[in-house]
Each structure stands twice: as C-alpha cells, then as structure tokens.
Structure 1
C-alpha cells in the first residue's frame, strides 16, 4: 500500500486578491479542503478523477461580491499486482490422461493488466504458459506445482498438489494352474497385485465370461473336471482395473467305459483285447497300461494277446490304465482305473472291443480283423461278412481295403455267424454285429521319379552317371537304392561306368505312411565281349578235330567268334572262320574242322568280336591228331611184329591253356578199340554235361582245310 499526494498549490497561479482557497472533489463529493491532496494506503477502489478547485473572493466596487475559481482535473491510476484466488489445493488426474490446469481461471489481473505466468515443479520452471498441461501424465509427475502470476508491480503465487491416480495392475499371474480332481483349488489374486492409487482394491472372479465371486481368492473345494477352464481375476479401484486369466486344468485319472466283463474265444485261437478301446482318457491324456493275472504282470501293453489259447488260461484278467498327475502345487501322483475281463468259452459268437473309430491315411490300405474281438460259438466254423451302406464288401474276418479314398468313409459293420445246433432244438443262425466308423484321413500321394528314367545305356569307360530319385512325400521320404536287389550305400552315383555297373537299379522311397514305392531303371554297359570259357577239344580223328566252348557275356551287343589256327609247321595264323554265330550266353558252341594232316600238332586261337571291339584271346595250345594206322587198328586190323610191320601207336598228349585263367589241363587220347568221337576232359578242367546245358553246333558246313572249301 502506498500514499497518494498531489499538491494543487504548486500548480496554481494566484489571483487577485491572492488569497486562494482549495477544494478537492472525487466522484462529485468534496473530498478535502487542503491544497495538498493526501490519501494514505490508497487502494485500487480509490482510483479515478480527482478535481482540484482553486478560488478567491472578488469584491468589485459597485458590484456584488462573487467567487473567482479555476479547476484542474487529475486522473489517478492505482497500480497493483495480479492476484490468485480459488486455485484448488489438490488436483486429481488419472494416469495417462491429460493434466490441464488454467491458472488464469483463478487470477485477478493487476494494473497494469499485462500478466505473466510461471509454473514451478520441483524448484524448476516447468512452464511459462498460463495453462499447466501434460498430455499423458504418469505417476512420476505427481507432486506440488506452483503458479506465479506477475506484472511490473509485483507477483503472487499459489500451489496445487497434483495427485496422479492409477488403476491397480496384475503381474506374474500364472497362465495355467494344474489341480487334481477332488482336491482344493486356491489362487490368491492379491499375491499378484500391485496396488493402484487410491490403494483400495476390489476383486472379482469370472468364469467363462460370467462373474461369480467378489473376493481376492479363487477357491473351489473338491474341484471336479467340469470346473476346469478359463478363470479371470479383475482388480479395480476408482480409477480403473486390470485383469488376468488363468487356465485351470483339472487333472484326473483315466477311466474305463463299457469294459467287457467276459471274452469268449475258441480254444487254440488267439485272444486279443485292447484296453485302449474302452479307455476314457484322463488328463493328461497319455496313458500307460498293465495287464495282470493273479497279481502277476503279464503285459505292459494296452493289448492283452494270447496265442493258441488253452482252457487252463481261463481266469480274471485285469487291465490297469494310468497316467501321471502333476499338480502345480504338491508332488506328482498316479491316477489309475482298472477293468477286469473273464476269459471264458461262450456260445454263440460275440463281438466285443471293435474300435468305434479307426483312422486311415488316404490311398493306403486299411484292415481290421473282426475275429480278434470275436468270441466264437460252439460248434466252431464262424462265418464273417462285412457290410457297408447295405452292400457286402467282404466275406473274410479281416476287412482289407486297398488304396482307400475319402469317399469310402463311413460305417462298416462286421457280422460273425455260425450254425447253432442246440440239443432238442432246430438249427438256427447265431449272429453278432458291430460297426466301426472308418475315417479316411488324407496323407501324401506316393510318387517316385528317377532322372534319367527308363533304360540307360553307356559304353564302358566313357564317363560318369548319376541318377536322382525324388518322391513327393510328407513327411519327406527316405530314399534307398538297390542294384540287382542288393542294397547300395548312399546315392546312385557312378564315377566311371564299367561293365560291373550293369544291372537293374531300384530306388525305394518310404515315409511310414502307406506302402513304400519303388522305381527301376536298367543300365546296360556296352563293352567288348568277354573271353569265351571252357575252350576245349571235344573230339579228334586223324584228319579232323572238334572244338567247343561256352559263350560268355556279349558286351551288350551282338557278338561273333573268330577261330584262328596254325600247325606246328607253319609260322602264320590262318583264319578258319571269322563269323561264327553266338547262340547266347552260357550256351555251347561246337565246330568241326576237317582236312587236317595226321599226326601234326595244331594251335587254335579263339576270341569274340562286337561293335565295341575285340575281346581277349583264349588259346588252345596243342592238339595232336591220330595217325591213320591208329584208325585202322580201331577197325580190327591186326598187324604183328612177326610180319615185320610195326604200328606206330601215337599217344597224344593234349594240353590246353587258357591265357586269361593261366590254367593248364591235359587230355590223353587212347589209341585202340573203337574210334573215339569225343574225348572227355580230365578232372582238372570239368565241363558241364550236354544234357545239363544247351549246346549249339554252328558247324553247319563240313570244311576241309586242305582244300580250303566247305560242303553243305
């Protein structure tokens, strides 16, 4: 507050007479009679126009007295700072919403009216705007904010406490919770709650979308499997809420439904009871099995199988199906169910245990054996029929359907029957039927391709060959190769083709779905012919010799044989025949050479030829022909020493050597008696009997080597 002082006297020029009176008026009212206007602690309400009137008394002669006056108007402006009034002490705002406080709303402007604004937060200038604005405030920005308003005269401040409110939150909430059936479910939502502000939290639990409880603890004493599912905890305060969902998994033991109390079977046949066909899966669904008889475990499979059943095997068999229960709290435990079946001989036949549903992969084979679950009657001789859509599809106990297609899905009914011959009763047909629903599932289509395909041919030593085997399979097929039905290691890849590579190559692809598939290619390797075998002397006379050999592999092309000869008296080889026909592999070839000189050693060479070249040569080293005298002796002409005639008996030693085998064989020619037409080989070089192998005589002409001519 300040003092207003205005001296009217100092601004007045006195009149005449000089005695001057002063009057101050404010808003039409006399305010003061002093020359100096003094207002202590002037306030803004005292602003305005003040009028100073200076006057004197005029007394002219002969006239009446009157006042002389002069006025001075002064406008008084009272300056003062702006003020703040009504700013709330606390401002509540929800987290992530906008903070907006307009300080000008609570400000009374000063004089002069120009006002400056400053917002202080934490002793630092936060804003120089009249509005405190934070678009998405979070809890860390809570606290005291001070607004200061000012002009050139002065300033005033006021503070507001910004209280950022937020909803409670849930963290660490389990996504699933496992509990054993008939035990207690207990989940405290409060254990996973971070309180909001205000801190008071409310809780609700909902199940499958419907609220059923308004407490923090989810509790269910003796819970059963139908109570499993999604439970949602919602925690909220005045500001908002947060939710978390837990999947309550109620674990329970498996159970057996419609488990047969008895099972009939013909003596010496097979008992086959699949416990899994009657199982109602527990949770978790993985089920283990044991079969016991008189407390002794006889099987750890789901199937009770007894071959060649005997009546002393009759008894009460128990199947125990169990799973492992693993609650979220507490030790794991076993859940089990038992079923007992009496193995008994019953009449007439019954069918029990045929699976209600069977899955099969499309294009694969499907089979189900009704006899495995049939208790035959007595007498035996049970007949079976399978029907589908009113038609008989099989008259065998085992229904086998090849290459199943999807339109073959449906109910297949097995009917087992026998002819009952009750004592004192008439014959009647006893039957039992049970359906199985066949669900054809679609798997990969089998397809095997070999590239290159078909029959392949290569000339020996001309390069490499790689065959690629592919198959459209899902999952991917395992591909294996065989050559001539002998497994190969790895792929079909030949670095340099040789004659040993010739053969049939088979690619087999399989993935466990359906039958494996195979594809074949034939590789023919063309080579010069192989050396003929068993080249030997078949017969010898004084002027002729018969030779024979066995035809070998022709190299993949037509082959002919060339036979060369020369006597011990000649130095050059002569061609006897260079176009001897090939009768086929492993067949005999026989030739008869005439016109030879008696008692002369001849040498023979033999090799095969095809379009790919000449094969290796085999040599028959020596053959000694018989003398004419020996031939005459053979016909019974006796010449004695006493007559002076000597018969030279030539014992011919025949030695055969095959160059490739480096083997020698001796032949002994016996002189005397009947003329030998065939001389057998000795034990070191046996040849097959003509009765055991085909023999082809290519000597269709009789050739005389001395005349160099042949006759038909």
Structure 2
C-alpha cells in the first residue's frame, strides 16, 4: 500500500478470518518512507503472504492514518486455490438387499449378493475437483452404481479427484489429483464345486471337497507393502493368495493418471507358482520409485494389492508416546510407544530423560526389533520428582522429529 501525507502515515495490516478472529500482520510488513519536494511524505508498506487453504475467504485489511486525518481503509478477500483433499465415500442403498450394507471407516464396503446401490466419491478443493472412477471403462461421474451385485465384483475400486490450479505469477495451469480406494466385499453363499472320495470298499483313503473362494491373502503371510531402498540394488514384492479356482496374477506400475502392465524383461522379473507371485525390480533408478499394483483374479472375484517403493529416508517419528500409570513407582516408570516407519535402513530409538530442574540428560538407545509396541523401563529415579523425557528415532540417513513427555514419580 502507498499513502501520501504530512506528517508521515502509519500503516497497519490485519487478517480477519471467517469466524471474525483478527490477526495482526503489521510486524511482518516491509515499511518505507520517502519525502517528495520537502512537502509530501510518501509511506509505503507491503506484506508477503503464503496463504493456506484454511485462509480461503479471509479478508486482508490495510488501514492508513496520520495525526490530522481519519483512517483510510482498504481490504481484499483471499481466494485460495488448493488441490483436492482426501476423498470420502457415501453409500446409498437402492433395494432391500443393500439396506444391510455397511461402509466402514477404512473405506471397506460390505454388502450382500444381489444388492443394488450407488457409491458417491467426493473431495473438497478449489476449483471444485472432478471425481472419476478408474475401472475398465472410466466412469466420468462421482457415482459408481451396481445393480444386483455378484461376487465377481469383489475388489478394490479407485476414485481420482482432480482439479486445475492456477499458478502465479506465470499464469500457467498445474493439474493436481488425489486418489482414494473403495474396498468392496460381497457376502454370498458358498457352493461345493467338487466332492470326491477315493479308496476301496471298507477302507476310505481320501476325501476332497472343493469350495469356490474369491482371492484372499493367505493367513500369517509376511506381507510387506512398503519397501525403502537405495539406488542400483534390487527389491522384491511378494504375495501368496488363498483362492479357488486357481487365480491369475498381473503386476502394474502406477503412473499419475494411468498404469503400465509389467512383463519379464531386464528391469522386471515376475515369478508365479500356483498361489504365489513375486515382482523383482533390479538396478533401481529414480524413476522406479513409486506405487505398484498386483491384481489377482479368478472366476469368483478379484483382489487388488498396492505396494510402495520409496527412496531411503530419515525415519518417521514414533507414535503414541506415553507412560503406563499403573507401573509408576517412587523410583521407576515404564515408557511406551509404537515405532514409526524406519525409512529403509534399520532404526534405533533414542530416549533422553532428566529432572525438570536440571540441564544434563540421561541417554538410552533401544534397537528396533520389529515389535509393534515397545515398553522401556527407566529406573534409579528420585521419588516425588518431575521429569522431562524425549523420544526420537535415528537411522543411517538421519533422525526423526522428537516427541516430549513429562511424568512424576510417586511419593
């Protein structure tokens, strides 16, 4: 803002939210004063904003005044463009069978065979995003409709929400998108496909009963869906299914708006034996990082499993860092946390603690042995004392953000 006057003008900046909350921006402004012809003083003030989506529809107010004038006021309303947010689904039953359908928080939809229903995909964004279902024939609509669904429709369905963001100051357009996966499970009556008895009279040797089954992950299989790796090495994704009739496995590399089916060549090696399939990616380069998809089909249904190949990175911070109140004594306590993603290289957890009134920390290292929850006991504490503790993870790349916790020993 530029203002003329004598004496010099005072300029203030305020941001007013949709809820009427005021934020003073004056301290972030750049302010310059110059004199014209020894008569007029020119005051200039500017602010540099990097608005977020929560700032949409907020007002930026600039006010100028000096000792002999009333306040001059100008304001502008921010229109913040932002990419699509996380998509969500709405389930609408269309017949009696579908009324018992359940859409769970993890986007898994459970319906009975014969159900007719529509699932609507929605996402926020500015401009409002367009939602498309990415199936064999793309559904250019946010609505995915099934009529008298059968078990052949079991599987994962991907919805893409996309919009076009206007980029400043070049005024070019950037396409942005987000994806969400709907997992449809159809409950149906099993059928006995074969019942075979072999043996001799009065001496039965073998009974075989074959029941149809849509592909599933075999119980207790060590499935790793995210792998971090350095370049110029090889990694392998694996899957073992439980299915009848025998399924067909197909591997894909996911691109921004499409997918590429993979075949055996110098880069990829696909091994399939019965109910087991693996994909090995050799001599990893930057272009190989990203998402992969495995489709498992038989005549009963379909299963889709997604994988992610990431570059080695610093570990994610641990989660749910807390103490176990029932184990707090006058001289000890137990800290508990859940490991975060290790970033690829093996991680080690660092626990630091000290009396709140002291400066020196006691430091302990705990290796990540793959446990889902870690309990660590601290001893030799002072009774009836307040302690500060800190937890973070390190690997060969770097360290995670630290988590802080305060606790007090018993009297």
On whether the aligned pair clears a TM of 0.5, the verdict is no
- Select the structure of larger CA radius of gyration: 1
Normalising by structure 1, we get a TM-score of 0.20
Q: Which has the higher contact order (CA 8 A, sep 6+)?
A: 2
Normalising by structure 2, we get a TM-score of 0.30
